[in-house]
Amino acid sequence: MGLSRVRAVFFDLDNTLIDTAGASRKGMLEVIKLLQSKYHYKEEAEIICNKVQVKLSKECFHPSNTCITDLRTSHWEEAIQETKGGAANRKLAEECYFLWKSTRLQHMTLAEEVKAMLTELRKEVRLLLLTNGERQTQREKIEACACQSYFDAIVVGGEQKEEKPAPSIFYYSCDLLGVQPGDCVMVGDTLETDIQGGLNAGLKATVWINKNGVVPLKSSPTPHYIVSSVLELPALLHSIDCKVSVST
């Protein structure tokens, strides 16, 4: 780490600033209720949702081939057919997908204490939101949680040539803010993208949000710092800057 003070912080979005996983679970619960009450599914409702969750986790999206709405409706269509058999039911798949999506977006909110933290941090450093993912999906989340006003810039991986952990998206982010990689800290919950990307780009520091005390694989990238909540960040940044003061 260099001897300059922190000038910019890059934040991941999903499961760092907003509880995407929790919002998705709430969406799935609404679909289970729909399938059980309106269509009289029993245990099949939960099986279908579990299958969709697996499909989402393995999703490969290529914008040239399809749009995200069609792809994700197809996840539901396949899961229903795999579970119930018979002919494909696109109409039901669409109903499930749009209910899951709308419920999920309703629950994607910035907590008041996160808003307060971002507001205070921005008085001292520049803030950039750096999120991987398909353009439409990520922009809808950004709109839903109304986080635009807390950042100096927003960069969506799906709108760039490369996503995290490629160094290019970090250099692009630095250019947007007029800073050098050695001035910046990356904060995120994913070792393979957020932390590896920050290391690849030579950022001043990487901060891993490890909410659940997960023990990483030995092969995983090693962050400079580990915290259990994003709210620990201001104190951590202060300690990083204090080290700089002592060194100089």
pLDDT at 2 over 60: no
**What are the pLDDT digits (tens) for 102-143?**
999 999 999 999 999 999 999 999 999 999 999 999 999 999
β-bridge mates for residue 206, sequence order: 186
Per domain, the residue ranges of the chain are 8-19+109-242, 21-107
Which of 44, 51, 41, 42 is closest to 72 using CA atoms? 51
**What are the pLDDT digits (tens) for 156-185?**
999 999 999 999 999 999 999 999 999 999
Q: How many Cβ atoms sit within 10 Å of the Cβ of residue 50?
A: 13
CATH of domain 8-19+109-242: 3.40.50.1000
Tokens coding 43 = 């245990």
**What are the pLDDT digits (tens) for 47-104?**
999 999 999 999 988 888 889 999 999 999 999 999 999 999 999 999 999 999 999 9
- Record the pTM: 0.94
DSSP state at residue 150:
G
The domain made up of 21-107 has a fold known as Four Helix Bundle (Hemerythrin (Met), subunit A) (1.20.120)
pLDDT at 246 over 80: no
Q: Are both 8-19+109-242 and 21-107 of the same fold?
A: no
User: How high is the mean pLDDT of the chain?
Assistant: 95
CA 128 from chain center: how many Å? 14
C-alpha 36/C-alpha 50 separation (Å) is 15
Which of 237, 229, 160, 168 is closest to 197 using CA atoms? 168
pLDDT score recorded for residue 83: 97
